[in-house]
Amino acid sequence: MERWIGLAGAAVLLGVAFLLSRNRAAIKWKTVGWGMGLQLLVAVFVLRLSLGKNLLQAAANGVTRLVQLADHGSGFLFGWLVTDPAPEKFVFAFKVLPIVIFISSLFSCLYYLGIMQIVVAAMARVMTRLMGVSGAESLAAAANVFMGQTEAPIVIAPYIPAMTASELLALMAGGMATVSGAVLGGYVALGIDPAYLVTASVMAAPGSLVMAKIILPETEISQTAGRVSLKIERTDSNLIEAAARGASVGATLAINIAAVLIAFISLVFLINGVLGWIGGWIGIDVSLQSIFGYALYPLAFIMGVPAADASAVGRLLGLKLVLNEFVAYVDLAQLKAALSPRSELIATYALCGFANFSSIGVQIGGIGGLAPTRRSDFARLGLRALAAGFMASCLSAAIAGAISGK
């Protein structure tokens, strides 16, 4: 029954995007249809077919192995704080954040060697040919699968000043709907299933384009219509410099993650304290999590989450939207034992994206730095990009829940 609810939920999400559309008559349904088709194809291949399951498991094992390799470097610095296998001695700062640094360094090396460019360009060509989107926006969507929301736009930096409004929204939504490879390793260290994370990241690329092209259809002529041209200027003199630079970028990201988690988790407890005090006066038990659980229960339910778990998953969705996905994944890791396998799958897919209110500011500052003349456009499109990115992740979750055998 939940499978059919998930399929209906996917239709509801598309309907909400349609209601938010600026120009419903201009929507290119070929783009929407092929985007949905690509998501379904990926989901069926990796969740239902033996070959796909085996390939996905191999990819998941590879990600898990990378996480384990990172322990060697962090273990050298922090000793038993990293290497002690006892669950009660898991220290987030020493076990998770070093993985972000290692993965960032690894990806920097892969880009220096030109390996990632081949993968990104291949994905972009498929989306451009099938979905009819421009080369620039398909490249950005593909790059977002592996890079962060402010790093991926670098691959199309020369085109951003002349991009259409629809392309800008697609660029921003792609960043909101995906996570970077560096932080994905951090989620795995928390105990989140790497197979789900890998699939969610791939499905989000066409999904973000679907949502963006419904909310703000293309009505202008793109500078890169029908062509894919990926040129990343090599800034490192050799592989060692690339590894070092990637480590530095990863260290900055790790510090930012730590700072945000300290601040946001503390703020949640502060807000809960205030709400608890107010609730005590009127005789009800209220918290930020319970408010999110009730408010987003319908969304979790229409994605195919069983009714018994819908409130818990709704709470996680609220934490992601208002705070960030890392805070939500920390909570999911603690809730896994209480959730059904189906609920865990859908929640993992739905949380896999940077769609939160603070990301609007991150993108205005980060992408706006690449094209200062378009900064006002990024600010104007921020809330639409947030809606498109958030719904794209939910769309992937609904489809995965409907296709999976759980």
What is the Cα 47 distance to its own chain's centre? 19
Q: How confident is the model at residue 183 (pLDDT cuts 50, 70, 90)?
A: confident
- 192's tokens: 């989140």
Mean pLDDT, residues 143-151 taken together: 82
State the Cα–Cα distance between residues 196 and 193, nearest whole angstrom.
6
Higher pLDDT pick, 160 / 348: 348
Helix (H) or strand (E) holding 41: helix 29-47
Residues contacting residue 29 through CB under 8 Å, at least 6 positions apart: none
Q: How many CB atoms lie within 10 A of CB 93?
A: 14
State the Cα–Cα distance between residues 60 and 54, nearest whole angstrom.
10
Most confident of 12-21, 95-104, 197-206: 12-21
**CB contact at 8 A, 14 and 214:** yes
Mean pLDDT, residues 91-112 taken together: 84
Q: How confident is the model at residue 370 (pLDDT cuts 50, 70, 90)?
A: confident
Least confident range from 9-18, 119-128, 213-222, 373-382: namely: 119-128
pLDDT at 38: 94
Averaged confidence pLDDT in the chain: 87
pLDDT at 324: 86
- 201's tokens: 């990241």
pLDDT at 85: 60
Residues contacting residue 275 through CB under 8 Å, at least 6 positions apart: 286, 287, 288, 291
**Percentage of the chain surpassing pLDDT 70?**
95
Higher pLDDT pick, 261 / 134: 134
Q: How confident is the model at residue 199 (pLDDT cuts 50, 70, 90)?
A: very high
State the Cα–Cα distance between residues 391 and 183, nearest whole angstrom.
21
Residues contacting residue 345 through CB under 8 Å, at least 6 positions apart: 193, 196, 400, 401, 404, 406
Higher pLDDT pick, 342 / 124: 342
Which amino acid makes up residue 204? A
In the 8-state DSSP scheme, what is residue 391? H
Burial of 306 (0-12, 13-18, 19+ CB in 10 A): middle
Higher pLDDT pick, 298 / 86: 298
Least confident range from 89-93, 256-260, 274-278: namely: 89-93
Helices (H), 228-356: 239-282, 288-295, 297-302, 307-322, 325-335, 341-351
**CB contact at 8 A, 185 and 106:** no
Mean pLDDT, residues 305-314 taken together: 94
State the Cα–Cα distance between residues 261 and 263, nearest whole angstrom.
5
Q: For residue 274, is pLDDT > 80?
A: yes
| Nearest partner of 137 among 146, 122, 127, judged by Cα | 127
State the Cα–Cα distance between residues 199 and 350, nearest whole angstrom.
12
Q: How confident is the model at residue 204 (pLDDT cuts 50, 70, 90)?
A: very high
Helix (H) or strand (E) holding 215: helix 194-215
What pTM was estimated for this model as a whole? 0.87
Higher pLDDT pick, 233 / 200: 200
pLDDT at 227: 62
- 137's tokens: 């926006």
Q: For residue 112, is pLDDT > 60?
A: yes
pLDDT at 15: 96
pLDDT at 90: 65
pLDDT at 69: 87
pLDDT at 86: 58
Least confident range from 100-104, 129-133, 188-192, 223-227: namely: 223-227
Mean pLDDT, residues 81-110 taken together: 77
Q: For residue 88, is pLDDT > 70?
A: no
Residues contacting residue 16 through CB under 8 Å, at least 6 positions apart: 391
Q: For residue 126, is pLDDT > 90?
A: no
State the Cα–Cα distance between residues 47 and 173, nearest whole angstrom.
25
Supply the range of the domain harboring residue 295: 2-403
Q: Give per-residue pLDDT as tens, 8-44.
A: 999 999 999 999 999 999 999 999 999 999 999 999 9
> What is the count of structural domains for the chain?
1
pLDDT at 31: 92
pLDDT at 87: 54
Return left, alpha or beta for 286; rule: phi > 0 is left, psi -120 to 50 is alpha, else beta.
beta
pLDDT at 231: 63
pLDDT at 152: 82
Helix (H) or strand (E) holding 401: helix 375-403
Rg (Cα) of the chain, in Å, rounded? 20
pLDDT at 369: 82
Q: For residue 401, is pLDDT > 80?
A: yes
State the Cα–Cα distance between residues 391 and 321, nearest whole angstrom.
11
